């Protein structure tokens, strides 16, 4: 809110006018619904009903409230108190409309009372509302600086929706699901199959899988079940299905991660490649305009330098697969300067130099960087860090599993970020979902697997490139 100054009752003359202009945004409808409690679906985008192509209309009271923006900020301005308002609504405002709100002084009365005529028009000149407002005008001059209102953060899951939408038209990925013997696993599988992301092969005890599906109300009709007597056997059989060219991805069900990873990393019969396995969390965090990748928070406990190089390369590859053309990678430490007493700061500096020399490719790598100056440009500028990554990091490479796990879970449970994840470095993508993950997280993880597989096969991303920040300096 910009600075405002008022006009006192004595300074106001009949015929005086003031105007403000406001473009109706989708978020305005959400704020009004929260503030007023009016949850009429006509006023919430995407809630008009199945097959209804009409866009949401602004609540009439939202339009009426615009008169108060002129009266409280412009004329008379700060110090104004309402006595009454009568409004006639002659049209409807939709998201994207630019509304012009004008008030005109019609009459002054004793007791500092001022009557205004008001009108709201849209960008086409159509009248949306007419009103009569009666206020008590201030008697003393008041000037207000920036109102400095608290920021509002909206979390719409749009970033994951974008990834899922990008999978449309790509072939569904035959996926071996190891031991899906609980409702959460089966719900995620069913959602991913319904979305056309995967073709599930349910690997585990047939009777137990069917019982879990029935208890959870999940329809698994049409899903192939590959019988395996217990979770360990299910993990082994899921890996074997990849070697048999029946599966192009693996998904964890209701078994411990170690059971599945044990089969994947076997030298004989596993899914190992020359590159070290690592896990990448992909987070849709409120307040960030882009997806944030955090690695490794699930597999490598205390990685050495060369393992970290593989971790960085795996994350860059995934970032490129999901449409980040040239990922900006921050190698994290507690400080942004090299300190021999902090080994992670030395590793960070070496990894940055390895990227400069082409040992790590496809991204911009810099470090050491601390959390604040990795993602906040003002923090980077304050500390005088000149970097293409600082303040704009899209990938955070943590020093060890403990740091990564705490960071990812803080973002998920404190900052309410949506989280999906993928294990990379194996012959096929591995969806290592947590038992705490809901069906949506499993759906997003399936989308990551489809996009990564597509990128491996074609060398191109199915996701349109994200807009890059124009201010890359610090």
All structural domains of the chain: 4-144 (3.10.129.10), 158-458 (3.40.718.10)
- Using alpha carbons only, what angle is made at residue 82 by residues 76 and 86, rounded to the nearest 5 degrees? 105
pLDDT digits (tens, 9 = 90+) for 342-366: 999 999 999 999 999 999 999 999 9
The per-residue pLDDT for 470 is 37
Spatial distance between the Cα atoms of 146 and 18, rounded to a whole number of angstroms: 19
The per-residue pLDDT for 49 is 44
Under DSSP, the state recorded for 101 is E
Chain centroid to CA 241: 34
Long-range contacts (CB closer than 8 Å, 24 or more residues apart) made by 302-310:
302/400, 302/401, 303/276, 303/400, 305/347, 305/350, 305/351, 306/276, 307/276, 307/278, 308/347, 308/351, 308/397, 309/351, 309/354, 309/359, 309/360, 310/275, 310/276, 310/278, 310/425
φ, ψ for residue 65 (rounded to 5)?
A: -65, -20
Q: Where are the alpha helices (DSSP H) in 183-304?
A: 183-194, 206-216, 231-243, 257-264
- 411: CB partners within 8 A, 6+ apart: 283, 285, 292, 294, 417, 419
Residue 51 has pLDDT above 70, yes or no: no
According to DSSP, the residues that pair with 308 across neighbouring strands are none
Top pLDDT among 403 and 42 is at 403
The per-residue pLDDT for 465 is 66
Range with lowest mean pLDDT among 8-17, 41-50, 189-198: 41-50
Residue 153 has pLDDT above 80, yes or no: no
The per-residue pLDDT for 184 is 87
Under DSSP, the state recorded for 426 is B
Residue 201 has pLDDT above 70, yes or no: yes
The per-residue pLDDT for 152 is 74
Spatial distance between the Cα atoms of 250 and 231, rounded to a whole number of angstroms: 14
Spatial distance between the Cα atoms of 305 and 152, rounded to a whole number of angstroms: 41
Cα-Cα-Cα-Cα torsion 89, 93, 99, 105, nearest 10 degrees, comes to 10
Residue 469 has pLDDT above 70, yes or no: no
| Average per-residue pLDDT for the chain | 91
Helix (H) or strand (E) holding 363: none
Residue 66 has pLDDT above 90, yes or no: yes
pTM of the model: 0.78
Taking residues 133-142, what's their average pLDDT?
Answer: 93
The per-residue pLDDT for 99 is 97
The per-residue pLDDT for 464 is 80
pLDDT digits (tens, 9 = 90+) for 283-328: 998 878 899 999 999 999 999 999 999 999 999 999 999 999 999 9
Under DSSP, the state recorded for 337 is S
The per-residue pLDDT for 56 is 84
Residue 472 has pLDDT above 50, yes or no: no
Strand pairing class (173-178; 198-204): parallel
Range with lowest mean pLDDT among 72-86, 148-162, 213-227: 148-162
The per-residue pLDDT for 288 is 86
Spatial distance between the Cα atoms of 76 and 82, rounded to a whole number of angstroms: 11
The per-residue pLDDT for 473 is 35
Taking residues 85-91, what's their average pLDDT?
Answer: 96
Q: Model confidence at 46, in pLDDT bands (50, 70, 90)?
A: low
Chain centroid to CA 472: 22
Dihedral sign for Cα atoms in the order 303, 307, 311, 316:
positive
Q: Model confidence at 88, in pLDDT bands (50, 70, 90)?
A: very high
Residue 110 has pLDDT above 90, yes or no: yes
Collapsing DSSP to helix, strand or coil, 456 comes out as: helix
- Token pair, residue 285, equals 């965090």
Taking residues 209-219, what's their average pLDDT?
Answer: 95
């Amino acid at each position: 809110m910009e600075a405002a100054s008022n006009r006192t009752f004595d300074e106001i003359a009949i015929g005086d006018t003031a105007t403000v202009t406001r473009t109706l945004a989708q978020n305005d409808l959400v704020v009004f619904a929260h503030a007023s409690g009016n949850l009429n679906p006509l006023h919430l985008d995407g809630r008009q009903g199945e097959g209804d192509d009409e866009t949401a209309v602004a609540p009439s009271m939202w339009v009426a409230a615009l008169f108060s923006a002129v009266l409280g900020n412009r004329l008379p301005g700060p110090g104004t108190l309402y006595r009454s308002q009568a409004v006639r609504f002659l049209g409807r405002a939709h998201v994207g409309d630019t509304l012009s709100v004008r008030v005109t002084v019609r009459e002054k009365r004793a007791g500092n009372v001022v009557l205004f005529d008001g009108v709201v028009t849209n960008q086409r000149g159509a009248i949306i509302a007419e009103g009569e407002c009666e206020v008590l005008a201030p008697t003393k001059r008041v000037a207000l600086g920036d109102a400095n209102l608290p920021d509002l953060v909206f979390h719409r899951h749009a970033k994951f929706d974008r990834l899922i939408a990008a999978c449309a038209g790509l072939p569904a990925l035959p996926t071996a699901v190891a031991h899906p013997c609980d409702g959460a696993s089966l719900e995620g599988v069913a959602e991913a199959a319904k979305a056309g992301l995967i073709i599930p092969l349910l690997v585990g005890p047939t009777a137990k899988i069917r019982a879990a599906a029935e208890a959870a109300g999940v329809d698994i009709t049409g899903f192939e079940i590959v019988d395996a007597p217990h979770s360990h056997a299910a993990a082994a059989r899921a890996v074997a299905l990849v070697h048999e060219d029946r599966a192009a991805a693996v998904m964890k069900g209701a078994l411990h991660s170690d059971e599945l990873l044990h089969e994947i990393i076997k030298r004989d019969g596993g899914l190992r490649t020359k590159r070290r396995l690592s896990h990448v969390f992909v987070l849709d965090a409120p307040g960030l305009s882009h997806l944030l990748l955090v690695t490794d928070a699930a597999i490598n406990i205390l990685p050495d330098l060369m393992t970290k190089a593989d971790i960085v390369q795996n994350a860059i590859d995934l970032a490129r697969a999901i449409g980040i053309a040239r990922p900006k990678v921050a190698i994290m430490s507690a400080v942004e300067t090299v300190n021999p007493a902090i080994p992670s700061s030395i590793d960070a500096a070496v990894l940055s130099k390895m990227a400069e020399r082409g040992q790590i490719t496809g991204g911009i790598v810099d470090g050491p960087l601390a959390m604040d100056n990795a993602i906040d440009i003002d923090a980077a500028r304050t500390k005088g860090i000149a970097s293409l990554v600082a303040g704009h990091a899209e990938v955070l490479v943590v020093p060890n599993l403990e740091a990564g796990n705490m960071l990812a879970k803080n973002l998920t449970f404190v900052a309410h970020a949506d989280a999906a994840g993928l294990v990379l470095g194996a012959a096929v993508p591995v969806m290592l979902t947590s038992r705490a993950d809901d069906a949506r997280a499993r759906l997003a993880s399936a989308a990551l697997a489809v996009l990564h597989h597509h990128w491996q096969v074609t060398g191109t991303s199915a996701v349109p490139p994200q807009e890059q920040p124009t201010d890359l300096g610090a």
